[in-house]
Amino acid sequence: MTERRTVPVQLPVIEVHECSLDVRQAAIARAPMFRGLTAAQVAEVEERCGAHGMLEDEAIYLRGQPAERMYFVAHGIVKITRDSAEGRQTLLDVRTPGDFFGAIPELGFESYVENAWGMTDGCILMLDAADYAKVMRDYPDVALATVKVLGDRLAKAQTSVHLLSGAALQQRLAAVLLGLGAKVGRRWEDGILLQIPIGRDDLAAMAGAATESVSRQLSAWKKAGIIDSGRRWIAITDPAALRELRGS
């Protein structure tokens, strides 16, 4: 009998003092609203940002709190959640280095509409509402890009709602796994290891399904050699098969 492999997700730990200037500027430069800025302009934006050493499971903000800042992931992973009717935290999405999250009144938000937590240790940058508004005034292209990226996120959210309302569980779950693979996956043997600590309840929330149904489907895929998994880790071992299950 072949021994089952064990693949714990190993994530590097970074102290706040290790969130170097290069790391911070790279995060700003990768953020979609700032990609058109020159290196000097990126440096100016970074100077307006505060840096925070993020801890795993640390609450960055909670739904209903005043929308005061935009955040940018410099290192580590942030999870975006929402409270369910039963009071549980349901996972909506993850943010990786270069991603942004948060909200400010200048973009039409008086309060945060979701929760943001550290999924791993890391470092995040914070840009206060007044500073973000000044950046948009100084660089009109940033304002236009901000509107575009928010519109893109809204379109993706609407697509997700459509998928959840009409697709079969296999298709929804395959889409979730492939989406996570694109964001936080790394090459592992012939497949993709999702480099985040994620459980079946998290996947169920993202797929809009019961945890028990997701567990049965993952077990079937594991038996078929499409995925491999362990305690709070999962790997896509046959990406082509999963893409076929997802469909167009």
Quick: pLDDT tens for 154-210.
777 666 655 566 678 888 899 889 989 988 888 887 789 987 888 888 888 888 888
Quick: pLDDT tens for 122-139.
999 999 999 999 999 999
Q: Please tell me which residue, 5 or 54, carries the higher pLDDT value.
A: 54
* Model pLDDT, residue 1: 36
C-alpha 230/C-alpha 3 separation (Å) is 13
pTM reported for the whole predicted model: 0.79
| pLDDT value at 117 more than 50 | yes
- Spell out a b/e string for 136-167, using b for 16 or more CB atoms within 10 Å of the CB, else e: beebeebbebbeeebeeeeeeeeebeebeeeb
Tokens 């009109």 — which residue? 140
Q: What percent of the chain is modeled with pLDDT above 70? A: 86
Cβ contact 115:61 at 8 Å: yes
| pLDDT value at 3 more than 50 | no
- What fold characterizes domain 169-246? Arc Repressor Mutant, subunit A (1.10.10)
* Model pLDDT, residue 71: 96
| pLDDT value at 101 more than 80 | yes
Where exactly does CATH 1.10.10.10 map onto the chain?
A: 169-246
- What fold characterizes domain 16-163? Jelly Rolls (2.60.120)
Where exactly does CATH 2.60.120.10 map onto the chain?
A: 16-163
Phi, psi of 111 (to 5 degrees): -145, 160
Least confident of 80-84, 95-99, 173-177: 80-84
C-alpha 153/C-alpha 149 separation (Å) is 6
Rounded (10°) CA dihedral 130, 132, 136, 139: 120
Q: Which residue type occupies 131?
A: D
Q: Give the residue among 212, 195, 206, 210 at the shortest CA–CA distance from 173.
A: 206
Average per-residue pLDDT for the chain:
86
| pLDDT value at 64 more than 90 | yes
* Model pLDDT, residue 2: 38
C-alpha 224/C-alpha 221 separation (Å) is 5
C-alpha 60/C-alpha 233 separation (Å) is 24
* Model pLDDT, residue 17: 45
Cβ contact 21:46 at 8 Å: yes
Quick: pLDDT tens for 213-243.
999 999 999 999 999 988 778 899 999 999 9
* Model pLDDT, residue 157: 66
* Model pLDDT, residue 166: 64
Tokens 């993020």 — which residue? 54
Angle, helices 129-138/140-166, rounded to nearest 10 degrees? 120
Cβ contact 185:194 at 8 Å: yes
Q: Which residue type occupies 218?
A: L
Q: Give the residue among 11, 240, 4 at the shortest CA–CA distance from 118.
A: 11
Q: Please tell me which residue, 108 or 131, carries the higher pLDDT value.
A: 131
C-alpha 60/C-alpha 120 separation (Å) is 12
